């Protein structure tokens, strides 16, 4: 949860994935182990923070 909070509060863009799909963290819930996330298509859902993965950044 602490890494998710660092990513959420970061001024830099840190890519995150849920089940292999890029997402944006909209909100972290203080009272549960879930986060509200948004997909590129605009869909919003709640997912377990433990299932979020930092995506590898592409280097060119």
Among the listed residues 24, 30, 27, 28, the one whose alpha carbon sits nearest the alpha carbon of residue 43: 24
**What's the pLDDT score for residue 25?**
96
**What's the pLDDT score for residue 2?**
87
Among the listed residues 41, 36, 37, 33, the one whose alpha carbon sits nearest the alpha carbon of residue 1: 33
Each residue of 14-45: pLDDT tens digit? Answer: 999 999 999 999 999 999 999 999 999 999 99
Distance CA 22, CA 54 (A): 9
**What's the pLDDT score for residue 56?**
79
Query: What is this structure's pTM?
Result: 0.84
């Amino acid at each position: 949860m602490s890494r998710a909070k660092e990513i959420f509060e970061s001024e830099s863009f840190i890519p995150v994935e849920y089940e292999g799909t890029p997402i944006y963290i909209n909100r972290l819930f203080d009272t549960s182990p879930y986060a509200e996330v948004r997909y590129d298509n605009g869909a919003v859902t709640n997912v377990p923070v433990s299932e979020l993965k930092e995506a590898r950044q592409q280097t060119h």
